[in-house]
Amino acid sequence: MDRQALHDYTLTIIKEAGERIRKSFFETMYIETKSDANDLVTNIDKETEAFIVKKIHAYDESFRILGEEGMAEEEISSLEGVVWMVDPIDGTMNFVRQRRNFAISIAIYVDGVGQAGYIYDVVADELYFALKGQGAYMNGQRLSPLEALPLNEAIVGINAVWATPNPRVEHEGIIKLIHTLRGTRSLGSATLEIVAVATGRMDAYLSFRLSPWDIAAGIIIAQEVGAVSSTLDLNAVNLLNQDTFIVANPSIHKELVGDYITLK
């Protein structure tokens, strides 16, 4: 596998996919719901994933692909060999309602180790990527390593729903956390909240139900600036199933999870 060639190829795929999404703004969009009324998918999600899958397989038919919309028609039950993780539109609600604040996410794993991660904020035209061990970049500019800070100066991405009674986490701990932090934000796109941590715009992002394609690229980018990713019971991130997730500045990761998060 010629890694540089594959990297260049992936950059062209993600940019072309973004250009197709921008053009779709002038076409009629068809919206369906998935697991519940708030879980949307559009024809553009599906067409974009199909486009990306076709391009990946044009490079090498043997590459396995785990995609949010299942366009690769594969079951992925292990991370052996080369596995691509694709989210054609992360933040579909923002895509539908705002026509901004969504991103394409593509990651390449080899035997379970992230080798390359790409996140493209299509409307802002901001392309983030990282190659393992070679730093993270935004539009060609290298991202700086994160600087330590205390938890009471941190800005954390968290959805307000986790501060309310819910089946996944003791919300009293989240309330205590919110009162400790300098502030919270919620953007409605996991990938863009992960790159917000990687660029130091936020200091952590956590969620209690994310899928592998939501985090696969982001954690590779985040790792290159020193951010730490884990589940919220401090295990390695789960790249085969939906699970809890946090990415954080290393100076606050353990304190945030240990002192404020009690999973149910």
Residue in 50, 175, 226, 262 binding a copy of itself, rule: CB under 8 A: 175
Residue span binding a copy of itself (CB under 8 A) among the ranges 1-9, 157-165, 212-220, 234-242? 157-165
For position 98 contacting a copy of itself by CB under 8 A, the verdict is: yes
In angstroms, give the least distance from the CB of 110 to a copy of itself. Answer: 34
Q: What are phi and psi of 100, to 5 degrees?
A: -165, 175
Directed axis angle between helix 171-180 and helix 253-260, to 10°?
140
Beta strands in 20-179 (DSSP E): 31-33, 40-42, 64-67, 82-90, 103-110, 113-121, 126-131, 136-138, 141-142, 155-157
Residue span binding a copy of itself (CB under 8 A) among the ranges 1-9, 10-18, 66-74, 174-182? 174-182
Residues placed in the known binding site: 68, 87, 89-90, 214
For position 138 contacting a copy of itself by CB under 8 A, the verdict is: no
For position 155 contacting a copy of itself by CB under 8 A, the verdict is: yes
Residues placed in the known binding site for Mg(2+): 68, 87, 89-90, 214
Q: Answer for the pair 196, 176: CB distance below 8 angstroms, yes or no.
A: no
| DSSP per position, 189-203 | -HHHHHHHHHTTSSS
Closest by CA position to 206, among listed 251, 167, 155: 155
Residue in 119, 158, 220, 225 binding a copy of itself, rule: CB under 8 A: 158
Query: Which residues of this chain interact with a copy of itself, rule CB under 8 A?
Result: 37-38, 93, 97-100, 124, 152, 155, 158-161, 163-165, 175, 178-179, 182-188, 196, 200-202
